[in-house]
Each structure stands twice: as C-alpha cells, then as structure tokens.
Structure 1
Amino acid sequence: MFLKRINTSLALASLVFALSACQQAPENSGITPETATNKTDDFKTYDAASFFATTSMYGSSISHDGSAVLVSSDESGIYNAYRIPLDGSEKQALTKSTTDSTYAESWFPKDDRIIVSADLGGNELNHVYVRELDGKLVDLTPGEALRAEFFGWHENQDHFYVLTTERDPRFFDLYLYSTKDYSREMIFQNDAGFDLKDVSKDANWLALAKANSSADSDIFLVDLSQETATPKLIAGDEEESIAYSIYTFSADNERLLYGSNKGSEFTHVMNYSLTDGSHSVDFEADWDVIFSYFSKNGKYQVNGINQDAQTVLSITEVATGKEVTMPTLPPGDLRGVNFTADETEMVFYLNSDTSPSNLYHHKIGSDKVVQLSNNGNPKIKQAHLVAGETRRFKSFDGLEIPGILYKPKQAETEKVPAIVWIHGGPGGQSRFGYSAMIQHLVNNGYAIFMINNRGSSGYGKTFFHLDDKRHGEDDLQDVVYNKKYLQSLDWVDENKIGVMGGSYGGFLTMAAMTFTQEFDVGINIVGVTNWVRTLESIPPYWEAFKQALYDEMGDPATDKKRLHSISPVFFGHQVTKPVLVVQGANDPRVLQVESDDMVAAIREAGNHVEYVLFEDEGHGFSKKENRIVASERYLKFLKEFLN
C-alpha cells in the first residue's frame, strides 16, 4: 500500500517470525538430504507456473476441541478457508469460492462454525461472514459501500466483536455480536475518527489510536462499562513527537501493552496498568519490537523484534520469566504462532527464501514437531533456488542503505543482468521469505536487489522519516546509487540494469524511468503516477489517518505544486526506455486511471510501453492464475529488453 506505516506492529501483521534453527530436520519435516543439498550440477530453469504451483497458506486459529487448525490457502487457485486436522489426516475445504478470495478469520470457541471475510474483485470492501455447520455463509455486515473487520472474541465465548463503516464510510464503529442468533449492539460509536486497535476480552476497555502526523500519535482508552464512553488520553506528548502503537490487552484484562519510541530510535513495549494508571517498560531491544501478545489464558507472551528484515521471536513463560526452548527445526522463519486453549500445544509456520510457509504442530516441552502441510512444489529442487543475503551500500550523501541481494546460479559462470526491486509503502520494508515471483526471475538469470531505501521501516525513526515530503527525491537517489552498487559487482552486467516495484515502489520505478536515464527498463506494478489525484481520492475508510498521510506526502490543497512536480504522469514524454505497466481494474488505492494516463502519456511521445490490465483484481493480485500471467509477462519483457 502507499502509506507510511505509522503503526509498525500492524504494518507487519502477518507476524513474520524468525528463529535461529539447526540443520537437522525433525520428524515429518519434509526436508530430505536431496532437497537440502547445495549441488547445482543439474541446475535447470522453471516457468512461472512451477513456482506458483506452491501453495500460499496462513492463519492459525485452533478449533474449540483442539483437533484442527483453520487456515487460508490458495491451493485451488484462489484463497479459501480450510480445516487442517492436528492428527495429520486429510485437510478439508470449508469454503469453495471460485470468484473472490475468501479469508479464514477464526473458529467459534464452542463449535465448528467459522468466521471468514471476503470482498468483491479486490475492491477492499470486505464483509464478515459466518460459515454455518451446514456450509451456508451468512453475511453479518450486509449493505453497499461498507467495509467490515472481525475484531476478536469476548471472554464469555458467547459474543464476538466486529468493526464496520456502515454508519459513516469514514469511520469504524464497534459492535458486539451474539453467537446464538447474530443479534448485535453498537458498543462504541466512532465520531471523532479514532483508529480502533483492541478491545479487552471482558468488553470493559477499548484502546484507540490517533495519528497526529507520520511521526506523532496518541493512545486513548475508553471505559465501555460507563454509560458515557469518553476517550481518555493515556499516552501522548504535546511537546515531543512520539509514535505510539497498541499491541494487546493482557489476558486478565488488567494491563494494556503498547509500543513507544520515546527516548529511543526504536520501539519498545510498555505496560499500562488499568487499575492505577502507571506506566512501565515491559520489553525492549536494539531494534523495533513489532508485536507482543499472549496465549489465551496469559501463560505465554510472544514478542517479535524486526532485526534487519527478519523477525526474531521469543516465547516467554510469564510466571517464571523463562524463555520457552523450541525443538530442533528446519532452517526458516517462524510465522503465525498460536496456542491451544489449554496452552499445552502450539502451531506455527516455517518459511524461508527457498521454501513457502508450511504448518507445524508442537507439544510444548517435547522434542516432537509434526509437519501438517507440504506447500512446496516437489518438481523444483530446493538447491535450484536462491537464498538472499543482507547487503548495504552508501548512497549519494554517505547514508548506508540496506537491502537483500539475490545472486542467480548463472552468475557463477557469466555476468548477469540485474534489477532493483522497490517495496511499497512508502514506509514498507522488503523482508526475507519465499516469493514465487522473485525466485522465478532469479532462477531465470536475473540478479535482484530488494532495496530498503530511506523511509523504510525497521531501521530506526530517523531513517524512517528521512523521506518525509521528499518522496521522489532522496529516496529516488538511493535507487540510482543501488544501481551503481550493482555495477560494482564483478558478476553483474553493468550495462543491463532495470528497476521494478509495486504500489509506492511502482511510483519510484516510474520516477526512475521519467526523471533519470539510469535504467534500461522499468516494470511498474499498480504504481502511483499522479499524486494530486491519488491523495484526493483516497478511500473514505482511511479518514482516521488521512492527516498523517498528508503530513507524510503533502496536502493536495496546499502542496499541489510539489506533488505535481514528482508525478511521472505529467512528464511521460521524458521516458525513453521500455516500460511495462501492470494494473488491477478494481484497485481502490491506485485507480486504474493512474495507469491508463501514464501509458497514454508515454505512447503519445512515441516511446515503448506495454500494458497489462487484470479486470478481476485490485491493489495486488489474489488469484494464482493472474499472478502466473503477470510473472511470465515480467520475464518475457525482461528477456526482450534487458538481455
């Protein structure tokens, strides 16, 4: 998305955990000596379909009886909800959509009903549904032009929370639903544009955030047990810009954990006592702590640190303060850790650059780990894939810019073309992990440097704000100097370097092709090209942080001249090298007209541009078939113009 990520905890809500792992594989790990070898004497290249023949899976809600995990999986070509038994038996599709992705949210706590969400064609107007025991889907949030989100369970297990913008398309209100008949009551009407973050399990407390700018935010609490629900400021400083984020209420409903970067470059975890109003440090590290949460009854606390594009995970037993020792695991990063209701077992995912996420089951205190999924493509040898390496280079002003470098196998014998990949955001971050698209391009002989240019999250608040109202300027120079770094590598063809990216990364791609003559090709994926129009047409449900977005990018009412000057669409005649533009017709963030106009401007000047439009996608491509088409088009374009 094109938005400075003010709440880093939610920006990385996929909970990408990393943990140091040993080489030996556990029972049923699926890692064999053959797949783990580094031999490349039989190296081969694969088409995009082979890389996307892997399955993307996430979600770790455990059923009321502890027998199964609820996951979202795209194995059918589109996301649906699946039941995966913990005993290793066959999984079951619980939803069977063939048109729009359906995402698993949660089991019901007393039976096998589930909560799912879905939008229409990527328009991001999600509705919340219950899948009944007979398979019927019940829309809990019917209506047009609204957006809804599942918000968690009441501790009595007879009620759950849902956010919806049905009353006012700008703001989310909070409703409490009955599991019996789905009747509901509004328990907080959001008239002031707060960002609702968490509600205590007993429904007595609601935590709210208010973004004042991209660097400054406040935290409020609402006592829902009172007749008049008035937000009370608990963390905010009128004299100093401090970014606060909300993590979770404690399982006993007595504390709120929140993040703060006060007095530090990095975010640490703070404790707020709901009984006496005191604040204390709960957990801190030398990097951003991006999340902290508890198991159901509070026996375990999970903390995640964003350490150089990987998330280092710790699981602590709260009563003793001792860290839980994990068994020997295959190489990879942990994701989606969750616990059974009795807190004796856990499930999690392992993911690496060369292996997609697989689900595992572990009984705490034992050495046994059981793999519950095999989401890789057995026809691709793991030794034919490439793991990224952390690299840094100096930009135009001496600032060190971090990133992840992928070196193709072909580079062992010949010089290869290279691509600078730019993440979205602008305050996003490229991270380690399996990407079918990245592996497809690297496997076919293209070096890729995933740049975390200034303004990226994860490297301290100073680095994070270096691009404020300087977008398309200093961060663009980081991209140019990334090219110079690639040219310094003796295995890179210095005359064949391209640039590509999605969303904000698509903007910087077009800026590089428009305002510089440095790159030989550019691939713009759902990228902003007209900042004036984009900032004037943001979705209404972004109202809660619109001011922060304007503070970050500029207000189109007052900064129109500058926004016009960095918008590539007005300078399409300056593009002289081949460009590929890829767009979703239903994109609510970067409207199709952005790409239409950019393509028209380049064509009007007589320069080469290709255009791929997906009629059934939004801001990013959820359907596997479309992802395959896009990846093959990237490769075809690169082979024609960068080889």
Structure 2
Amino acid sequence: MINRRTLLAGTAATFAAACASTGGNSALPHQTYSAQAFFQTTSYAQAAPAGFAFSPDGRRILIANDSSGVFNAYSLSIEGGAPQQLTQSADNATFAISYFPNDERILVSADQGGNELNHVYVRERDGTLRDLTPGENVKADFLAWRADGNAFWITSNARNPQVFDLYEYDATTYASQLVYQNPGMEIADITRNGRWLALVRPRTSADSDVFLVNLHARDMREPRLITEHTGNISYGVYEFTPDGSALIYGTDEHGEYNQAWRYDLATAEKTPLIQAEWDVMFVVHSPSGRYRVSAINADASTEVTILDTRSNQAVRLSGVPAGDLGGVRFNRDETRLAFTVASDTSPSDVFTAPLNTGVATRLTHALNPAINEDLLVEATVQRYPSFDGLQIPGILYRPRTASASNRAPAIVLVHGGPGGQSRRGYSAMIQHLVNHGYAVFAANNRGSSGYGKTFFHLDDRRHGEVDLDDIVYARRYLETLDWVDGERIGIMGGSYGGYMVAAALAFRPDAFDVGVNIFGVTNWERTLNSIPPWWASFREALYDEMGDPATDAERHRRISPLFHAQNIRKPLLVVQGANDPRVLQVESDELVAAVRANNVPVEYVLFPDEGHGFLRKENRITAQEAYLRFLDQYLRSRS
C-alpha cells in the first residue's frame, strides 16, 4: 500500500535499546574499514513484482546490481556463478523490470542523472536498447503484462505532465495505443485480461479512495467509487487476484493499522483477508494464485508469510540466514521461487528454493569479503519518552568499542518523509560510522509511519515543531547511556531528515553539536511551489498535511531554516545532488551561503550527476568519506 507521506524520503535506518547487543563476536579484536570497503558491497534489486523475474526456461533470474559502479541489469543462474551483465550503462542507473514471456528480451528502466524522469526500454536479444517512451519531459513506468503475453501496459505522462495515462504496447512491434485517459488519479493495478483498472484518489494524508474502471465497457468507462465512507479513512491497492475475480485493497478503516481486505468484483462483497497488530505492507500472489505472499511491518522489521492457499499452510524454507525476507518471485510453473534476505550486518542477497523441498541455495554474497561480518553490529529497538511523555520508537547501533570507560560520540539520524520510517536492515552508511566508533540512533519521531494512524498524524501541520522536539529528546535519551559521550552528539538526516537537521541548528541552536544535512529542504515556500508536475495527483494531500503555500506562507516561512540561518552557530556539512527534482540545488546553495556569513564552519559537497539520493557508487563513497571526515574534525575532536 502506497505511503502518501514519503514524498521527501531519504536514506535512514532504524532503532535500538539502551542495553543494545553490540552484535558480532566481542572477543575479536576490532578493525576499522574504509568507506570504499563498505561501499564495495554489491546492491541487488530484483525484477518488478508484476514482471517475469525468471527467464522463459526458468534457468535464470533477472536482477539489477551496482557491481560496475552504477546499477545495470543482469541475469543470474539458479545454479549459481557470476551474474551475466545485460546492460552496459556507465552513468545512469538502469533497473531490471521483466523478461518477455517467450524469449530473452527484457524490459528495463532508467532516468537521466537522477532527475526521476524514468523511461522504459526494451533490451533486444542482440543487446541493443530501444526507448519505448521517448520524450524530454516524459516519466513512464511499467504496470503489468497481459495474460496472453502478447502485450504489456505502461503508465506515462506524455500527454499531460501532471497525469499518468495507461498505454498498451504490442510485445512484437512495440506499437502503443492509449487505452485509458486518466482523469487525474493514480493508476494502481490492472487485471491480467485488461478488463478492470484500479485507481486511487488521495484527498488528504488521512483520507483516500479506490475506484474501478471497466475498460471493456467502451461506452461506460467512468471511475466507480468502491470505498464510499464518511470521515477520514485511508484506502489503497495491493493488487488484483490473478484470476481477476477480486481486488485486494488496504485500509485503516477498522483500527489503527492498515489491514488487507478483499473486494469481490462480481458481488461487491468486502471481506477481511489479513488483520494484524501492525501494518500490512504488501500482498502479492504467484502466477496461478496458489501462493499468497504477504508481509507486516512488525516494529520496523519485515515479517513475510508465503501461504499455500490449497493447504492453508505456510511454506517452510530452510538454509536461510536470519533477516528480513523480501522480493519473493515465482517461476512460471510455480515449482521454484527466488527471494532476498537482508539483516543489520548483511546486505540483501539473492536466494532460490524449489517449492517441493524449501531448501534454499544462496546465489550471491553482497558483503565485501574484505569485511568481517562479525565486526559489524546488530541494532535493537528502543523507545524513549519525549517532551510530553509520548513514547518514541527508533533503532540504536552501539559501537563494539563503546563502554563506560570509552564513551562513544553519537549521531541522531532522522529519516525522510515526512512520514517515512527508520527500519532494521543493512546500511553501509550507518555501519561505516559505527565501525569508526560513532553510536547511531535513528529516531522515529511522531508522524513516522508504521506505528498506527494516530501516531502517524500527530505532526500534521506541526512540522519543525513537535517532531523536532522528539528529535531533541532523542539526544536527551542518548545522554542517559553510560557508554555515550553526552558532550559529543550530532544530528544527521536526508531529505525531510535534512530539513530536520537544518531546523534543529536554526531553531534549537544548542541542542546538537554538529549537523549533516543531506539534500534537505530549507525553504518550504519554494519547495511546495516547485513540486514536480508528476506529483499533481497527491498535491492536495501534501498541502493538507504541510499547508497550502497560497494560504500558509507565513507559517512556512516561520518553519523554514533559511530565514533563520543567522541562529546557526554549530558546524554544518551539506550534501546535494544537482539534478534533484524534489529539493532543488538552490535550497542547499542558499543555506551554505547564509551560514558561512555567520563565520561558522560549513562544508559543501555537490554532485553534478545525482538527484534525490545517490545511485553512483563513487559518489556514495565520496559522500561517506565526507561524513566521517567532518564528524572526526568537528564532533570527535570537539573540546
């Protein structure tokens, strides 16, 4: 289910305990590793959920990885061995979407230097790429394959930059036709026979609706509301069932958390499918529908269930290390699946298993072999009281070297969003800092997702105020730990988290000792007036939460750090991508200039070939080296 509030999402992690386990083997002598060593891990991404991850013969799995320094598409044999590189991009990250149903062609996606204007390409059997969605300002995404394999659907804003229409592409000729002109909602899914289309209309961050369109009814194709309600209730779409008989949708109508419900297309009957004490993250089915894969967001970890709907028994896997399961994909005849496993100390690796035995085979080893995994640390979930007594959850990483006699400097890490969530899992950025002796505490301030709708909405139109106070109290929590140096605590964050860094330094100038702002908003007036056109469908929801710049400009100016930069007197590092369409480069340029005018130490790292998040490995290494160098100079050495 789409989270409408992670519009400014940035890199973050999750959170842990005062009595946190240090992880690894404490008897081993500690060794530090360079940023380059940590980022020589290989990041793996699987094919799109609605695509074909397995080759037609079932012998290879379609993935993307960044072993070349930038993401490219690869095929991976189910027998193991080195992946075969399929695309050769040296600059733009290229992600795998799907094999064609009956041959070795594949679909891939790439933007231009991080500008988020994704195009969909076909890689022909001879290795050449063909852009299926050309256009300077076009943004396009793959939606699904038609059941017969002779066509596929793509959403594109080629007609109107603010609206994504539905196009059907012939799988042989690549000829396309407009099959649905979108009135301005979000296209969520389509049945495999192309009859039913599901649309989502977000009204506010707390209220949304689901509509159905019968594409086979040529004379009656008006969207039909299926979630009529009063008050604020959030609805979203997981998927249509493979047989096209039902829509699986999500809603918080029946409690604090998103539940999965089933809507019968023939009878309009609604029945509960999955109800839990946490949010249901996703629901997907195998090609025939026999297997249902679902996950819940259990206190910042992912708990996946693979259910055999015939026996109503969960599939048991063996030979799988501890960690979060993800990216479950089935081959065509449902005899084998592929999936990833990641943990705090290990990046995502690709596994495969036959369904008749469940015995898994590990196909990749993402962690740089030069790094001893036993020297990395596991995080634990911790909660602390904020200014009003509200319990704030988060993730704490304790360095192996930290003790009461060797107290560690610390970083409060703030996630993006504003409604994002710091979660358990591997982060090269975090593990590198912890490996060099920094405690990292990723606080999930009020307004974070994953903890119920009440908690989620506690910061509505109070951004830079109550959520900022939660972050300040994260420092106070760290000061209670006898292994943390309470005199050396900084703040770090990306995107909305970067905004919180600048806000903390400007509005709570004594709360933190240094700040690291990674492409953070500094001027809400400008940001809310310059959102990308493809965000038009949820502009109203964004304005409902943050305020409409036409009527709330005074408040936006009050909470914008740029207009209060004269208060900043602690050292600041700013990192920015020049092609960022969400947080424009000028946001960082102006903040750096304003703080330098205070005669405060400011460092600025600008990447000309990145957008909102850094995809090139060399740039991630450069940024990471800058983080550590800055923290060592201005936090660790602080007198």
For the pair 1:222 / 2:213, whether they are aligned, the reply is: yes
Shift of 1:329: 1.8
For the pair 1:43 / 2:30, whether they are aligned, the reply is: yes
* 8 Å contact from structure 2 (residues 39, 621) kept in 1: yes
**SS of structure 2 residue aligned to 1:409:** coil
For the pair 1:351 / 2:342, whether they are aligned, the reply is: yes
Equivalent residue for 2:331, pick from 331, 334, 340: 340
Kindly provide the amino acid, as one letter, of the partner of residue 370 in structure 2: K
Equivalent residue for 1:550, pick from 537, 543, 565: 543
Check 1:160–1:134 CA distance in 2 against 1; reply closer, same or farther (3 A cut). Answer: same
| In 1: Cα distance, 2:386 partner to 2:628 partner | 29
**CA-to-aligned-CA distance 1:20-61 (integer Å, 9 cap, x gap):** xxxxxxxxxxxxxxxx96144321111100100100001041
**SS of structure 2 residue aligned to 1:629:** helix
Partner of 1:27: none
Partner of 1:620: 613
For the pair 1:387 / 2:378, whether they are aligned, the reply is: yes
| In 2: Cα distance, 1:372 partner to 1:308 partner | 29
Shift of 1:5: 2.8
Partner of 2:578: 585
**CA-to-aligned-CA distance 1:3-24 (integer Å, 9 cap, x gap):** x93389x999x9x9xxxxxxxx
| In 2: Cα distance, 1:306 partner to 1:96 partner | 36
Equivalent residue for 1:324, pick from 303, 309, 315: 315
Partner of 1:6: 4
The equivalences for 1:473-512 within 5 A come to 473-512=465-504
| In 1: Cα distance, 2:96 partner to 2:8 partner | 19
**CA-to-aligned-CA distance 1:89-128 (integer Å, 9 cap, x gap):** 3321000110111111111111110000111110001110
Q: TM-score, normalised on structure 1?
A: 0.94
Equivalent residue for 2:188, pick from 177, 197, 206: 197
Partner of 1:262: 253
* 8 Å contact from structure 2 (residues 503, 559) kept in 1: yes
The equivalences for 1:61-100 within 5 A come to 61-100=53-92
The equivalences for 1:57-456 within 5 A come to 57-60=44-47, 61-190=53-182, 192-228=183-219, 229-237=221-229, 239-412=230-403, 414-456=406-448
* 8 Å contact from structure 1 (residues 5, 425) kept in 2: no
**CA-to-aligned-CA distance 1:151-184 (integer Å, 9 cap, x gap):** 1110011100101100000000000101110011
Partner of 1:19: none
Shift of 1:258: 0.1
Q: Percent identity?
A: 51
Shift of 1:327: 1.7
| In 1: Cα distance, 2:57 partner to 2:515 partner | 52
* 8 Å contact from structure 2 (residues 166, 178) kept in 1: yes
Which residues of structure 1 form unaligned runs of 5+?
A: 17-35
Shift of 1:591: 0.2
**SS of structure 1 residue aligned to 2:58:** coil
For the pair 1:524 / 2:512, whether they are aligned, the reply is: no
Aligned residues: 616
| In 2: Cα distance, 1:117 partner to 1:367 partner | 32
* Segment of structure 1 superposing worse, 224-233 or 522-531: 224-233
* 8 Å contact from structure 1 (residues 5, 11) kept in 2: no
| In 2: Cα distance, 1:539 partner to 1:311 partner | 31
| In 1: Cα distance, 2:477 partner to 2:554 partner | 33
Kindly provide the amino acid, as one letter, of the partner of residue 617 in structure 2: K
Q: TM-score, normalised on structure 2?
A: 0.95
Equivalent residue for 2:527, pick from 529, 534, 540: 534
| In 2: Cα distance, 1:236 partner to 1:320 partner | 35
Partner of 2:17: none
Partner of 2:563: 570
| In 2: Cα distance, 1:399 partner to 1:379 partner | 43
| In 2: Cα distance, 1:89 partner to 1:52 partner | 22
For the pair 1:635 / 2:628, whether they are aligned, the reply is: yes
* 8 Å contact from structure 2 (residues 235, 249) kept in 1: yes
* Segment of structure 1 superposing worse, 223-232 or 474-483: 223-232
Partner of 1:560: 553
| In 2: Cα distance, 1:446 partner to 1:166 partner | 47
**SS of structure 1 residue aligned to 2:339:** strand
Kindly provide the amino acid, as one letter, of the partner of residue 385 in structure 1: L
| In 2: Cα distance, 1:424 partner to 1:359 partner | 27
**SS of structure 2 residue aligned to 1:593:** helix
| In 1: Cα distance, 2:224 partner to 2:276 partner | 29
**SS of structure 1 residue aligned to 2:205:** coil
* 8 Å contact from structure 1 (residues 174, 189) kept in 2: yes
* 8 Å contact from structure 2 (residues 8, 416) kept in 1: no
Pairwise CA RMSD: 1.6
**SS of structure 2 residue aligned to 1:165:** strand
**SS of structure 2 residue aligned to 1:62:** coil
Kindly provide the amino acid, as one letter, of the partner of residue 59 in structure 1: Q
| In 1: Cα distance, 2:551 partner to 2:195 partner | 42
| In 1: Cα distance, 2:24 partner to 2:566 partner | 50
For the pair 1:464 / 2:456, whether they are aligned, the reply is: yes
Partner of 2:20: none
| In 2: Cα distance, 1:367 partner to 1:298 partner | 19
**SS of structure 1 residue aligned to 2:401:** helix
* 8 Å contact from structure 1 (residues 422, 452) kept in 2: yes
Partner of 1:609: 602
| In 2: Cα distance, 1:352 partner to 1:37 partner | 13
**CA-to-aligned-CA distance 1:467-498 (integer Å, 9 cap, x gap):** 00000000000000000000000000010000
**CA-to-aligned-CA distance 1:214-241 (integer Å, 9 cap, x gap):** 100000000000113210000131x211
* 8 Å contact from structure 1 (residues 361, 372) kept in 2: yes
Kindly provide the amino acid, as one letter, of the partner of residue 374 in structure 1: H
* 8 Å contact from structure 1 (residues 72, 82) kept in 2: yes
**SS of structure 1 residue aligned to 2:527:** helix
**SS of structure 1 residue aligned to 2:314:** coil
**CA-to-aligned-CA distance 1:202-225 (integer Å, 9 cap, x gap):** 100000000111100000000000
* 8 Å contact from structure 1 (residues 7, 244) kept in 2: no
Kindly provide the amino acid, as one letter, of the partner of residue 50 in structure 1: A
Which residues of structure 2 form unaligned runs of 5+?
A: 14-22, 48-52
| In 2: Cα distance, 1:467 partner to 1:522 partner | 22
Kindly provide the amino acid, as one letter, of the partner of residue 616 in structure 2: K
**SS of structure 2 residue aligned to 1:166:** strand
Shift of 1:444: 0.2
* 8 Å contact from structure 1 (residues 457, 464) kept in 2: yes
* 8 Å contact from structure 1 (residues 236, 242) kept in 2: no
| In 2: Cα distance, 1:638 partner to 1:605 partner | 20
Equivalent residue for 2:43, pick from 36, 56, 61: 56
Check 1:631–1:7 CA distance in 2 against 1; reply closer, same or farther (3 A cut). Answer: closer
* Segment of structure 1 superposing worse, 59-68 or 106-115: 59-68
Kindly provide the amino acid, as one letter, of the partner of residue 597 in structure 1: E
**CA-to-aligned-CA distance 1:593-638 (integer Å, 9 cap, x gap):** 0000111111122222111100000001000000000001000000
**SS of structure 1 residue aligned to 2:31:** coil
* 8 Å contact from structure 2 (residues 330, 336) kept in 1: yes
**CA-to-aligned-CA distance 1:140-160 (integer Å, 9 cap, x gap):** 001111100011110011100
Kindly provide the amino acid, as one letter, of the partner of residue 414 in structure 2: I
